[in-house]
Amino acid sequence: MVSRRHRITGVPRPVPVVPAARRARVARRAPAVLCALAALLAPALAACSGGGVHGTPGGSGLRDPYFPKAGNGGYDVGHYDLKLAYDPAGGHRLTGTATITARATQNLSAFDLDLEGLHVDEVTVEGSRARWNRTGQELTVRPRDDLRARETFRVTVRYSGSPVTITDPDESEEGWLRTADGALALGEPIGSMAWFPGNNHPSDKASYDIAVTVPKGLQAVSNGELTGETSSAGRTTYTWHTAEPMATYLATLAIGHYDISRYTIGGKHLPVYVAVDPTEANASREVLAKLPEIIEWEETNFGPYPFSSTGAVVDRPDDAGYALETQNRPVFPGAPDTGTLVHELAHQWYGDSVTPKSWRDMWLNEGFATYAEWLWDEDHGGDTCQETFESRYEDGDKDIWAFPPAEPSDAAHISDSPVYERGAMVLHKIRQTVGDDTFYDIIQGWAAAHRHGNADSDDFTAYVEKKAPDKDFEEIWKDWLYGEGRPDHL
């Protein structure tokens, strides 16, 4: 199976009217008295909520090199609290309340959220109704009072409607995908805005609480841990909690009929939650039984598993055209093969925990996950990584050399083979240069150093050079990471 992505008040006091004679007396006072008075008054005025704050609008995009309108400026999200209800038989209508806790990074008079489609019913900021307007995917919110820089605030958006499916530049589909018995929400690169408003860029990660109400008999599976399941009046609400920071594109929601398996693995009793469409249960059983072995093997190679649970969602082959590394439990369209399961679970370290700063840095996700497949084969009786590397160089698809892995040609190609295969080849060149001991120190240290954070290609090359200061990487960066075409030699 080919996977594309294997294929986050008060106002200033009024100035009193002073009689002319008194104004004259005040004017004759020593300037030092006025300065002292001003110094005494300044803290009190600054303490007034909103007093003296003159904000400007936050940016309507973060100028990502491939998705310039993705994300928004002026704030960082700390937490998403989503309360959703969906009925596949009731016109595919989604109703939602999103409460977003964020911190202003500047004085803000307005800020944007990304939301595609869906009708906005009401917006409040800190409990007070806010003015808002829509332009394309931008929901612009104007609080009643300007927000101070570094102020933590809550914005609540009530919304409803029929969620849309988004067609990406590479013609794949994401966002809200209707399935035979429910729906599947996938977000890479920008699809999460089809089902909840947010700061839709990988550079802004947050924790999540997602409560989903569905008709009784259906299940709702999301990221993190299931913390509640209650039924009333023919409906069931599933509540999921994700404590570790997660980028919006890694959030998922699967609604339908599933066979559920729950167990723990390893000495730390890591919780596992696997949801499989009944039509895929038999075909998936053998490979999903390898999940504990794969996690243990990846911990040996990449370091401690970075999250508080793991698992998988297996839907029907027609429900999506690709597997995706959604945090805690990747999603598969039909039964995965072993390589695909290895790949998507490796993303929990590289992509999910260490997340790219921008979509230009996709090779840091896909190159690592592809190399994980090579390593698995090497350790399990298949080709060595050197043999795989030479095969790609000599006989691989010429598309591998279409562009440098660190500089995809445009948004339609951020998931193409140079990002995956040539990205893995960069890692193998590093391994050749430093030897196995230092190489594993690098890939484990990289995952640890940027755990639950963001990083880019410059961060990675600097990290490699720091870990192996006696080695020369100039040729690798010039020819393999940033070079055009196939390098002249292995």
Kindly report, residue by residue over 450-475, the tens digit of the pLDDT: 999 999 999 999 999 999 999 999 99
Give the three-state DSSP class for 66.
coil
Sign of torsion over alpha carbons 266, 269, 273, 278: positive
pLDDT band at 50 (very low <50, low <70, confident <90, very high): very low
What pLDDT is stored for residue 396 in this prediction?
Answer: 72
pLDDT at 52 (0 to 100): 64
Q: Is the pLDDT of residue 7 over 80?
A: no
pLDDT in tens, 356-399: 999 999 999 999 999 999 999 999 999 999 999 999 999 877 89
Contact partners, residue 433, CB within 8 Å, separation at least 6: 468, 471, 473, 476
Quick one: 35 exposed, middle or buried, by C-beta within 10 A (0-12, 13-18, 19+)?
exposed
Answer yes or no: is pLDDT of 202 > 70.
Answer: yes
- How far is Cα 441 from Cα 107, in angstroms, rounded to an integer? 43
pLDDT in tens, 126-175: 999 999 999 999 999 999 999 999 999 999 999 999 999 999 999 999 99
Token duo for residue 413 = 């190609």
Total length of the chain: 490
- What CA dihedral angle connects 433, 345, 72 and 85, to 10 degrees? 180
Tokens encoding 303: 């370091």
| Mean pLDDT confidence for 102-118 | 98
Starting at the edge strand that comes first in sequence, how are the strands of the sheet with 152-161 ordered? 128-129, 119-125, 152-161, 93-104, 75-87, 206-215, 235-246, 225-232
Give the confidence band of 5 by pLDDT, cuts at 50, 70, 90.
low
Give me the DSSP letters along 187-239.
-TTTGGGGTS-B--STT--EEEEEEEEEEBTBEEEESSEEEEEEEETTEEEEE
Sequence-distant (6+) residues with CB within 8 A of 232 are none
Q: What rounded mean pLDDT belongs to the chain?
A: 91
Query: Is the four-CA dihedral 475, 480, 482, 488 of positive or negative sign?
Result: positive
Q: What is the pLDDT of residue 409?
A: 96
Predicted pLDDT of residue 133: 98
Average pLDDT over residues 18-30: 37
Per the CB < 8 A criterion, the answer to whether 203 and 72 are in contact is: no
What residues have CB less than 8 Å from 352, skipping those under 6 apart? 246, 247, 250, 306, 307, 325, 327
Q: Model-level pTM greater than 0.75?
A: yes
pLDDT tens per residue across span 222-274:
999 999 999 999 999 999 999 999 999 999 999 999 999 999 999 999 999 99
Segment 328-347 mean pLDDT: 98
Token code pair at residue 437: 């001991």
Residue 34 in this model has a pLDDT that exceeds 70: no
Instruction: Please report which helix (H) or strand (E) contains residue 46, including its range.
Output: helix 31-47
Return the bridge partners of 232, or none. Answer: 235
Q: What is the mean pLDDT of residues 327-343?
A: 98
